[in-house]
């Protein structure tokens, strides 16, 4: 029997999920929801969704259609209400990143899901990009030896940014850094034990405070990470739509360089060699849908809401550290809510 899905939020990301659900075997789109009637009509017309499946209220959609899971792809500030509404009914939920805009709300939703026996997944899809999966495989196999340091940089101009994101303070943290911080957790398979962060906006910038950030992170086993990201520098203007991403994993026996989609392994005493990422058999979204299916079948998944509390704690540590100019341990933040 097909897994029946309701998608909430008909912006670009919600439309991506509509396409993915409708093309994935074993899934059925039963309804789509957006509080903005004009956005809803535009999306339904573009994707040929019958009007009987379109709603401006999630509650109404759930009352009229039987479903197994809800995908929440609303703006970041509007995640909590639809997640809570679905979880109270015992439905599975997959929510787009960021899970919520504060750790307290994320903890509340995870507790609610566990109380109701409902499955909760956070769609942090960057961890499943082939570059990060390949880096994780090489580190896990010992190709770099003991890891000591990671340096990560991201640049992008604020083009085609969603209005809801552009209005947020710390937009680069919520829009991009949360992806990279989660992916680094996934690749290193270690918890973050210390964060020192600074957020700022360049004097000539037009975005709210926090359009750029620089961060130092301490992971377990003394792995250090230097991370910086900005929406105020274009990187390569004629390449990758003005985006530039680079990360260097420094180990005792080798260094792995990741630039965009290319990987170069530099082993001590050997010539550098490119590393293939392998074929892209399925999209990152399909991987997440597969995790949703496994969760509905009672399996534990690595994209669970419980796991994502670690990422949310790191994000909150970045915010506290930037505000208070101190080192913050994300594990202590989690302890505040236990």
- Asked whether the beta carbons of 203 and 244 are under 8 A apart, the reply is no
Q: Do residue 114 and residue 169 come from a single domain?
A: no
Q: Is the pLDDT of residue 35 over 70?
A: yes
The Cα 208–Cα 188 span in angstroms is 32
Q: What share of the chain is helix, strand, coil (3-state, %, to 5)?
A: 40, 25, 30
| Average pLDDT of the residues in 1-22 | 94
Share of the chain above pLDDT 90, in %: 86
Q: Do residue 88 and residue 163 come from a single domain?
A: no
Q: Do residue 15 and residue 78 come from a single domain?
A: yes
pLDDT of residue 236: 64
Q: Do residue 214 and residue 83 come from a single domain?
A: no
pLDDT of residue 235: 62
The Cα 56–Cα 8 span in angstroms is 9
Q: Would residue 71 count as lying in a domain?
A: yes
pLDDT of residue 27: 96
Domain encompassing residue 198: 126-281+316-324
Q: Would residue 159 count as lying in a domain?
A: yes
Q: Do residue 219 and residue 266 come from a single domain?
A: yes
Q: Do residue 218 and residue 148 come from a single domain?
A: yes
Mean model confidence pLDDT for the chain: 94
**For residue range 208-255, what is the model confidence (pLDDT) as tens digits?**
999 999 999 999 989 999 999 999 887 666 667 778 899 999 999 999
CATH number of the domain to which 88 belongs: 3.40.50.720
pLDDT of residue 326: 98
Q: Do residue 171 and residue 320 come from a single domain?
A: yes
Q: Would residue 309 count as lying in a domain?
A: no
Q: Is the pLDDT of residue 30 over 90?
A: yes
pLDDT of residue 239: 66
- Asked whether the beta carbons of 128 and 287 are under 8 A apart, the reply is yes
Q: Do residue 260 and residue 137 come from a single domain?
A: yes
**For residue range 64-108, what is the model confidence (pLDDT) as tens digits?**
999 999 999 999 999 999 999 999 999 999 999 999 999 999 999
* 322: alpha, beta or left? (left if phi > 0; alpha if psi -120 to 50): alpha
Q: Is the pLDDT of residue 163 over 80?
A: no
- Asked whether the beta carbons of 157 and 233 are under 8 A apart, the reply is yes
Q: Is the pLDDT of residue 162 over 70?
A: yes
What pTM was estimated for this model as a whole?
A: 0.94
Q: Which of 37, 88, 95, 230 minimizes the C-alpha distance to 152?
A: 230
Structure tokens at 131: 């570059």
Structure tokens at 45: 């017309």
- Distance between first and last Cα of the chain: 38
**Domain tally for the chain?**
2
| Helices and strands, counts by H and E, the chain | 12, 14
Q: Do residue 27 and residue 71 come from a single domain?
A: yes
Q: Would residue 310 count as lying in a domain?
A: no
In which band, very low, low, confident or very high, does the pLDDT at 159 lie, cut at 50, 70 and 90?
Answer: low
In which band, very low, low, confident or very high, does the pLDDT at 160 lie, cut at 50, 70 and 90?
Answer: low
Q: How many CB atoms lie within 10 A of CB 64?
A: 12
Q: Is the pLDDT of residue 109 over 90?
A: yes
Q: Do residue 296 and residue 170 come from a single domain?
A: no
Q: Do residue 173 and residue 117 come from a single domain?
A: no
Q: Do residue 297 and residue 192 come from a single domain?
A: no
CATH number of the domain to which 215 belongs: 3.30.360.10
pLDDT of residue 212: 96
The Cα 17–Cα 69 span in angstroms is 13
DSSP state of 304: B
**CA dist list (Å): 74 to 70, 140, 146, 165:** 12, 35, 41, 11
**For residue range 293-337, what is the model confidence (pLDDT) as tens digits?**
999 999 989 999 999 999 999 999 999 999 999 999 999 999 998
């Amino acid at each position: 029997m097909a897994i029946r899905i309701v998608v909430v939020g008909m912006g670009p990301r919600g439309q991506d999920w509509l396409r993915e659900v409708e093309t994935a075997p074993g899934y059925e789109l039963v309804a789509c929801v957006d509080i903005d009637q004009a956005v809803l009509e535009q999306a339904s017309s573009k994707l040929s969704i019958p009007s009987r499946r379109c709603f401006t209220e999630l509650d109404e959609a759930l009352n009229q259609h039987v479903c197994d899971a809800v995908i929440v792809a609303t703006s970041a500030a509007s995640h909590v209400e639809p997640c809570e509404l679905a979880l109270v009914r015992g439905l599975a939920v997959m929510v787009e990143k960021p899970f919520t805009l504060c750790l307290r709300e994320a903890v509340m939703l995870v507790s609610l899901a566990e109380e109701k026996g409902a499955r909760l997944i956070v769609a942090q899809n960057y961890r499943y990009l082939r570059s990060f999966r390949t880096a994780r495989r090489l580190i896990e196999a010992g190709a770099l030896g003991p890891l000591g340091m990671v340096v990560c940089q991201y640049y992008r101009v604020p083009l085609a940014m969603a209005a809801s994101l552009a209005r947020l303070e710390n937009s680069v943290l919520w829009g991009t850094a949360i992806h990279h911080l989660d992916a680094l957790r996934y690749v290193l398979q270690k918890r973050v034990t210390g964060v020192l962060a600074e957020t700022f906006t360049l004097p000539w910038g037009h975005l709210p405070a926090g359009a750029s950030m620089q961060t130092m992170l301490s992971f377990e086993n003394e792995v250090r990470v230097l991370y910086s990201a900005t929406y105020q520098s274009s990187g390569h203007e004629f390449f990758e739509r003005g985006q530039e991403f680079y990360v260097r994993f420094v180990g005792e026996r080798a260094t792995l360089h990741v630039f965009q989609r290319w990987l170069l392994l530099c082993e001590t005493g050997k010539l550098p060699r490119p590393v293939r990422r392998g074929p892209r058999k399925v999209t990152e979204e399909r991987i997440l849908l597969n995790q949703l299916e496994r969760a509905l079948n009672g399996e534990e998944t690595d994209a669970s809401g419980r796991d994502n509390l670690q990422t949310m704690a790191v994000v909150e540590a970045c915010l506290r550290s930037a505000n208070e100019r101190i080192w913050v341990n994300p594990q202590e933040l989690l302890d505040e809510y236990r």
